[in-house]
Structure 1
Amino acid sequence: MSVRTVHVGPPAQGYAVHVGAGALDRLGEHARPGRRVLVVHQPGREELLAEVLQVLTAGGARPVAARVPDAEAAKDARVLVDLWGVLGREGFTRDDLVVGLGGGATTDLAGFVAATWLRGVEVVQLPTSLLGIVDAAVGGKTGINTAEGKNLVGAFHEPSAVLCDPSWLATMARPDYASGLAEVLKCGFVADPHVLDLVEADPGAALDPVAAPELAAELVVRAVQVKADVVAADLREASVREILNYGHTFAHAVEQVEDYTWRHGDAVAVGMVYVAELASRRGLVDAELLARHRRVLSAVGLPTSYGPGRWPELRAAMGRDKKARGATLRFVVLEGLARPTRLEGPDEAELRAAYDALH
């Protein structure tokens, strides 16, 4: 499989996302002699970490490995402070580099470390999960969580490059891979319906990057291209970029209420059904498109329902969403397949009815 490249940003600027076997070799382009490199990595990928350190060392760089907790536990202020301490003790300057090696939470954290150290140093992202490559590592949104909500503390900080070898995804547990597919399918609903067609044609193959590596690469590249197109038009999430948050307002509320024990993609899947229900009640989507949400998400093992009894907590959490303006909730919804729009200030009865439809 050859390396495929998607460019993010203006033609003369921006950065490249390289997807394919041998993508790691591109890291050597950032390993100049004497350069300090902090490799922020999650546990369990020691063999890949050794390869990363070897590439950096071969280029004359001086890598420092920093292991962080797995999953959302990494996106904690205490972990961030520890990493700042490493950078300070090692004497990192603005000419040095941070590398994020791991899933979406690790790349979020690494990006925020890079954004905040000396007001910004370079970062190269090496996502090792499907969610990481199609969502967290591309687009420059970085952050950590607080007790009050997910990603409420963060910064926009574009990477210098994103490198992903699909073979890195082969060790993912099936539920984790399905979680990443939620973000891929989101791109299908808001911009590229062919993504939905590919998954619906063979859900089993879409779930198996080992048996169907070409399909895995195609889905990744298509999802990254959607994000690249949107980011290029709206770097700071002022307008059109909000479409990438399809399903996320409700999803982030679920994650918070569940104390971050839900996989992000699982929450996004339920969140997409929630906003499809909202849109259906407004007459924006027909019954078939609403049903298609449940059908394609269920086909890859993603949840499409959520239990009763949690509405007050969920409603309070949605009120703290970053897209809210004052007391007004704002949702990305569809008014047809691949036709996203914004729904502002739905009344409380509509909000509750959409929630009740999830039971």
Structure 2
Amino acid sequence: MSHQGQTTLDIEADLEVKYQVDITNDIFNPENPLLLKNVDRDRPAGKQLVVLDAALSDVYSEPVRSYFAAHGVDVDVLEVDSGEVNKNLDTCLAVVDALESSGARRQSNPPIAIGGNVLIDVVGFSASIYRRGIPWVRVPTTLLGMIDGSVSAKTAVNHLGNRNRLGTFHPATQTIVDTGLLVSLPERHIVNGCGEILKMALIKDSRLFSLLEEHGPALVSSGFQEAPAAEVITRAIDGMQSELRVNLWEKDLRRIVDYGHTFSPPIEMAVVPELLHGEAVAIDCLFTALLSHLRGWLSGTDVQRIARTMHNVGLPLDHPLFYDLGMLEQAMQEARLHRDGNLNLPIMRQIGVCTFTQEVTKDELSQATALLKALANSAGEDLPEIAAQH
């Protein structure tokens, strides 16, 4: 179309996205071929880069090297300090430098990230900007990473005190989930992953909530190595992928998987590393459940079930900043910016059923904080009956 020397060209292109999630056992056994699936052994030039969470060095550095040595693959292992305080551009550039020195190619021998969600996010972001994007492989070693990150297309680093402020959509070509890796995980990080399982249960899977409610303490104490761990993890991952696959690039900003992620992000960043991500999300889930209750949707009994389940698996029920009305209002304002002007707050109608609201009043926030304090003070035992306030 032309008008007085002006020309407009309409360009439209489709981007095909295809990636795999493999669920396996004993990933570092040389007889398990999954880590080799994307390794090109026909061209020896360059090395296979593995980025390993430094906290896991004592446990996995030697098995990683032995695995690739058994298959005649020359490997570089970069150990990276993880944690939110290291989720930044400096860490990203260290990974980029390692990609350069290992001779990373545009398509073959993609880097392999082995660690928790923070490390995986950083490596994914680095892969997305190196040579304008190269494939990568992720091996989550935390329950949170297996639930929350195994099917996600998002990568990110923190910036200017804001969580995930810089990021891209660049899904891993392959994700390998081996629940046996959870054996070496500290219990707090097992509990942390329960925060994301709780979120998925509350927004769309009442069966998953019942499993966590009944078996949560035993799952935590066994490191998710006993029944019904497989069903819990599979249901949570499948629930996540069913939501993400239809809106992978987040063209629709009304996302129920944002439940628990409206009030928590600025609070989590304000106290790093005091609150882990799943812990902050879980408190947000409970706080938003109280908003639902105040509107007459969620029963007091169900709110108590949620709080009791959290307490029984070891999740915190509150944090002082969740009583700070200014912080809560700031969080909603930041959410509106992130969601293009709309609050799009996911809120439960009942356990397993979620809807959205576009406004929360200061009075509702105040009442919810009072109820949260009552629940937290009971430490999850003999929870006070919550009278309906609608």
Whether the TM-score (by the shorter chain) exceeds 0.5 is: yes
Residues 134 and 224, structure 1, Cα contact 8 Å, conserved in 2:
yes
Q: Matches of 2:207 and 2:270 in 1, distance apart?
A: 34
Q: 2:38 maps to which residue?
A: 30
User: How does 1:310-349 map onto structure 2 within 5 Å?
Assistant: 310-321=324-335, 324-325=338-339, 328-349=342-363
Match of 1:223 in 2: 236
Alignment partners' CA distance in 2, 1:62 and 1:17: 25
Q: Which amino acid aligns with 1:184?
A: I
Specify every segment of 5 or more residues in structure 2 that has no aligned partner in the other structure, as ranges.
1-15, 374-390
> Number of matched residues?
348
- 1:103 is aligned to 116
**1: CA distance, partners of 2:121 / 2:234:** 20
User: 1:94 is matched with which residue?
Assistant: 106
AA in 2 matched with 1:75? K
Task: Give the structure 2 partner of residue 204 of structure 1.
Answer: 217
| Paired position in structure 1 for 2:386 | none
Question: Are residues 1:270 and 2:283 paired?
Answer: yes
- Which residue in the other structure is 2:63 paired with? 51
CA distances 1:13-53 after superposition (whole Å, capped 9, x unpaired): 63332223134531111122136432221113233233233
Could you tell me which residue of structure 2 aligns to residue 6 of structure 1? none
User: In 2 relative to 1, CA 121–292 (structure 1 residues): closer, same or farther, beyond 3 Å?
Assistant: same
**Partner of residue 126 from structure 2, selected from 104, 109, 113:** 113
Deviations 1:161-208 (A, max 9, x none): 111221210111212111111111211111222212212223321213
- Give the distance between the partners of 1:114 and 1:211, measured in 2 at CA: 31
> C-alpha distance in 1, partners of 2:196/2:351?
16
Q: Closer, same or farther in 2 for the Cα pair 1:144/1:358, shift >3 Å?
A: same
Report how far residue 212 of structure 1 moved.
4.0
Q: What whole-Å deviation, never above 9, does each CA across 1:196-252 have from its counterpart, x for those lacking one?
A: 221222332121335843422221111111111111211112338721121111121
The residue aligned with 1:85 is 97
Moved more, 341-350 or 131-140: 341-350
SS of 2:55's equivalent in the other structure is coil
Shift of residue 154, structure 1, vs aligned partner = 0.8
Q: Which has the larger radius of gyration?
A: 2
Deviation at residue 336 of structure 1 after TM alignment: 1.8
Change (3 A) 1:212 1:137: closer
Kept after mapping to 2: 8 A contact 1:178/1:301? yes
Deviation at 1:328, TM superposition (A): 4.5
Match of 2:81 among 69, 78, 87: 69
Q: Is the 8 A contact 2:140 2:146 kept in 1?
A: yes
> How far, CA to CA, are the matches of 1:351 and 1:238 in structure 2?
29
SS of 2:137's equivalent? Answer: strand
Structure 2 counterpart of 1:173, which letter?
P
Q: 1:322 to 1:209 in 2, by over 3 A?
A: farther
On the 8 A contact 1:131/1:180 being kept in 2, the answer is yes
Contact 1:32 1:59 in 2 (8 A): no
1:294 Cα offset (Å): 0.8
The yes-or-no answer on 1:255 pairing with 2:268 is yes
The TM-score, its normalising length taken from structure 2, stands at 0.82
Secondary structure at 1:144 match in 2: strand
2:52 to 26, 41, 56: 41
- Structure 1 runs not aligned, ≥5 long: 1-11
Q: CA distance change for structure 1 residues 260 and 329 in 2, over 3 Å: closer, same or farther? A: farther
Q: RMSD between aligned alpha carbons?
A: 2.4
Work out the CA distance in 2 between the residues paired with 1:201 and 1:314.
32
1:78/1:297 CA distance change after superposition, 3 Å: same
Q: Is the 8 A contact 1:36 1:97 kept in 2?
A: no
After superposition, the Cα gap between the structure-2 partners of 1:238 and 1:284, relative to the gap in structure 1 and judged at 3 Å, is farther
> Does the C-alpha gap of structure 1 residues 85 and 234 become closer, same or farther in structure 2, counting only changes over 3 Å?
same
Q: TM-score, normalised by structure 1?
A: 0.88
- Please tell me whether the aligned partners of residues 19 and 217 of structure 1 are also in contact (alpha carbons under 8 angstroms): no
Structure-1 separation of matches of 2:52 and 2:332: 31
Other-structure match for 2:25: 21
- Mapped pair 1:141 → 2:154: yes
